[in-house]
Structure 1
Amino acid sequence: MYEKLVQSYETGEVIDCVDIFKQPAFDHPLLKNHTAQYAQVSMIGGNYRGANAKINVWNPTVMYPEVSFSQIWLMSGPKENLNTVEAGWMVTTVPSTGNQPELFIYWTSDGYQQTGCYNLECPGFVQTSSKIALGSRILPVSTYGGKQYDITIGITKNDVLGRWWLRVADVEVGYWPGEIFTTLGGSADVISWGGEIVNSEPNGRHTSTEMGSGHFPSEGFGKAAFFRNLKFVDDGSIERDAENLKTYVTRPECYDLLLKVDPPNPFGVHFFFGGSGFSAQCAN
């Protein structure tokens, strides 16, 4: 049912996109007035040492100057001092890259105010592998009603050295040192998996930027985007199926999510998500 993901990593690309979160740190004038919208599931309140999933890869339409993400977040701390490590794929138009999904990471240790960046744009993440280039395109992508491709993303804490390690497929790409964090110097207390888009409200209406495949989760496999085999690493460093998941959808008439908890299934704990943005139901 699944094809093995084939990735094309083009070296030399520099991702010069901006901070899309609604914090005072972003620096592109076209993104001054926008909102972020989400369709995600979360585990909350534990002492988490890692998370992973297989993320379906698509090529959603993204309006300028916006971004569409499918990613994993590990978080800790209050909003004003939020620590995160993040990884997944994104399609960005700032700068324009031809609307192609790209591997990305992000981190912050102060709620996106002064610290953190995408990929290797600032000191922080230490890359140890020469096989995978952060910010490069992912190929091939899934097609509507056709072959489906996914990419395995995992983030795991090494408690001996205090590092958060990033794994893509079977490659250890590198790590975030514990020293760059405050609360994430220990464990994460929230894990989230899901989609996010930027809505700059062009012409005073909701954006047409797509999340996931651009289709709603009710359409199911082969049409809607998915995350499958959601796992977390507990405080004993044991990997387990995700559990007690909380669903958070900002505007279900624009982007929605359908959670399935079937660990014996090859999909494991999984969900379908996404949407088309602007429509008769999602107008403003």
Structure 2
Amino acid sequence: MVILQIAAAYAAGGPYHGASAAIPIWKVHVEPNEFSKNYLLIASPHERRFVPIKGKRPPDILNQIAVGMANDGGDKSHCLNHECGFIQTNNQFALGTAFSNESRAGGELDFVKVSLYRQTGPAVWWLSINDVAIGYFNSGMFAVPFVESFYHEMGGRVLNSMPGGKHTSTQMGSGMFPSAGLRNAASIVGYLAFNNNGGDLVDDPVNIIATSPKCYDAKDFGRDLNYPGIDVAYGGPGGPECDR
């Protein structure tokens, strides 16, 4: 048995033409054959005007792209994307790149800024890292045309292998709960949506998803005090509390 645990917030005020956020770089404990991810996801559910249900995602997401940072038990965090079909046009940053720097609780916090956006013309989604456009997603990779996004999700995920039917000690985020605050818990900082003119849109999340809140949770901290956009903290220690 393998379980995907999610602790994230989501916004559903589209239609959107993309989103941006600063994704944190944390090195956390990850058990073998598992992963821990920090991410921003844009998607187009089948039911575009779905009614948000607390703790649940939309019933059917046809098209989606997710980017962020992943820990797989190695020594470094890696830049990731969740889908195939990416066409790289600039090699300044490569998907899968390892980052040696990392955030420290209560100390210096390191982030990578990511943006997923549509430009005028064909329904092509571009990815930029630290304000450098590095490529786009082939439109042929989607089951139906991906013209606009209607759902944005931001937070953390853990894949747990459940040996003996019990959760392992793989951590999410910084390994701390959101209650530890933005200086200690992992946080997606300055989340912004893009409107159909490419302008920034401060977009409050409407719901929290926490599939196992005893060990991984998320919290919307509202508008960032220093930058435009919304901050969302998430994470937790994993371990036996998940099974209680």
TM bucket normalised to smaller: 0.7 to 0.9
Measured in 2, the distance between the counterparts of 1:221 and 1:48 equals: 27
2:89 counterpart of 1:89: no
Specify every segment of 5 or more residues in structure 1 that has no aligned partner in the other structure, as ranges: 1-32, 108-116, 118-123
Q: Is the 8 A contact 2:178 2:219 kept in 1?
A: yes
Deviation at 1:148, TM superposition (A): 1.0
Q: Is the 8 A contact 2:43 2:61 kept in 1?
A: no
2:237 counterpart of 1:282: no
Higher relative contact order (CA 8 A, sep 6+): 2
2:202 counterpart of 1:241: yes
Deviation at 1:204, TM superposition (A): 2.4
Deviation at 1:86, TM superposition (A): 1.2
Measured in 2, the distance between the counterparts of 1:260 and 1:80 equals: 27
**2:17 equivalent in structure 1:** 49
**1:190 equivalent in structure 2:** 151
Measured in 2, the distance between the counterparts of 1:166 and 1:59 equals: 24
What SS class does the counterpart of residue 98 from structure 2 fall into? coil
In the superposition, relative to structure 1, how do residues 159 and 277 fare at CA in structure 2: closer, same or farther (>3 Å)? same
2:70 counterpart of 1:102: no
What SS class does the counterpart of residue 242 from structure 2 fall into? coil
Q: Is the 8 A contact 1:56 1:227 kept in 2?
A: yes
**1:228 equivalent in structure 2:** 189
In the superposition, relative to structure 1, how do residues 249 and 128 fare at CA in structure 2: closer, same or farther (>3 Å)? same
Deviation at 1:45, TM superposition (A): 5.4
In the superposition, relative to structure 1, how do residues 263 and 278 fare at CA in structure 2: closer, same or farther (>3 Å)? closer
2:31 counterpart of 1:63: yes
Q: Is the 8 A contact 1:62 1:208 kept in 2?
A: yes
Deviation at 1:99, TM superposition (A): 4.0
Measured in 1, the distance between the counterparts of 2:209 and 2:68 equals: 18
Deviation at 1:177, TM superposition (A): 2.5
Measured in 2, the distance between the counterparts of 1:182 and 1:158 equals: 20
TM-score where L is the length of structure 2:
0.88
Query: Map of 1:67-146 to 2, 5 A cutoff?
Result: 67-78=35-46, 82-93=62-73, 98-107=74-83, 117=84, 124-146=85-107
Specify every segment of 5 or more residues in structure 2 that has no aligned partner in the other structure, as ranges: 47-58
| 1:209 counterpart letter in structure 2 | T
**2:112 equivalent in structure 1:** 151
Q: Is the 8 A contact 2:21 2:192 kept in 1?
A: yes
| 1:160 counterpart letter in structure 2 | G
Deviation at 1:283, TM superposition (A): 3.0
| 1:207-239 alpha-carbon deviations (Å, 9 max, x no partner) | 211000011111113321111101001233322
Measured in 2, the distance between the counterparts of 1:130 and 1:45 equals: 34
Measured in 2, the distance between the counterparts of 1:184 and 1:85 equals: 13
In the superposition, relative to structure 1, how do residues 223 and 233 fare at CA in structure 2: closer, same or farther (>3 Å)? same
Q: Is the 8 A contact 1:73 1:191 kept in 2?
A: yes
| 1:91-122 alpha-carbon deviations (Å, 9 max, x no partner) | 124xxxx2421001122xxxxxxxxx4xxxxx
Aligned-residue sequence identity (percent) comes to 29
| 1:247 counterpart letter in structure 2 | I
Q: Is the 8 A contact 1:76 1:183 kept in 2?
A: no
What SS class does the counterpart of residue 133 from structure 1 fall into? coil
Structure 1 stretch displaced more, 155-164 or 80-89: 80-89
Structure 1 runs of 4+ off > 4 angstroms? none
Deviation at 1:278, TM superposition (A): 0.8
2:240 counterpart of 1:272: no
| 1:282 counterpart letter in structure 2 | C
Deviation at 1:273, TM superposition (A): 0.9
TM-score where L is the length of structure 1:
0.76
RMSD: 1.9
